[in-house]
Amino acid sequence: MITNLFSSFDPCSSLFFYNWLRTLLIYFLIPLNIWLFKNQIFTLLNKIILILYQELKTLIGLGYQGRTLIFISLLFLIAINNFIGLFPYIFTSTSHLVITLSLAAPLWLAFIVFGWINNINHMFTHLVPLSTPNLLIPFMVIIESISNLIRPGTLTVRLSANIIAGHLLLTLLGNQTSTSSRITLYILLSAQILLLLLEIAVALIQAYVFTVLSSLYASEVVNH
């Protein structure tokens, strides 16, 4: 039984048992012939991947182009989990801070370690922007260091907060339908349909934003 409005985001609640398993079911339902034979879905996916590859290659730079595969896979993983979370009785794993942090932190940490090992001079110069007065250099080092440290947290909270906000609005509107009149019910259903369309767009946009910001952070560390 749901005890409060936020119980739908609890993966251990009794009503949403097997939530983590339900999140993975979509990957087992995809037919294997999509990847083995050419079809419309396969062609569409190839076009989307090519567009994303060109976009990420521009953001990341010419070197280390294999990194684009990591970010494209990350985008599809987040987008699919965001989308299937819009179905009833399916737990949205990307609304959980543990999941989003586990996506953001290892990737950020890997590029930070890579940067300090291979491009240590670039990492030091990145802490002090150009044309900074000598008096402000110690403060800029502190500010830039804090900015780099909180990046995984900002990625985590941004994704989780946007997913939770839309789900809460849908839940609030849904709870009002049982005690509403017929005219109010039609208005609420129309609002829910529009909000659901907006949430589909948000699910895709947030996956793209998460991926683009991660690639920008990587380009700042690796490119020199």
Give residues with Cβ within 8 angstroms of 97, minimum separation 6.
156, 157, 160
| pLDDT at 146 exceeding the cut of 70 | yes
| Mean pLDDT for the stretch of residues 178-201 | 82
Question: Cα separation of 60 and 65, whole Å?
Answer: 8
Burial of 214 (0-12, 13-18, 19+ CB in 10 A): buried
Output the pLDDT for position 165: 84
> Which position has the token pair 């020199």?
224
Output the pLDDT for position 12: 61
Better-scored residue on pLDDT, 78 or 89: 78
Q: Above pLDDT 90, what percent of the chain?
A: 2
Better-scored residue on pLDDT, 65 or 41: 41
Q: What is the DSSP letter of 36?
A: H
Output the pLDDT for position 1: 40
Write the pLDDT tens digit of every residue in 7-63.
555 556 545 455 666 666 666 777 676 667 777 777 788 888 888 888 887 777 655
Q: What is the token pair recorded at 201?
A: 């767009």
Write the pLDDT tens digit of every residue in 95-105.
888 888 888 88
Question: Cα separation of 189 and 177, whole Å?
Answer: 8
The pTM assigned to this predicted structure is 0.79
| Mean pLDDT for the stretch of residues 110-125 | 80
| pLDDT at 2 exceeding the cut of 50 | no
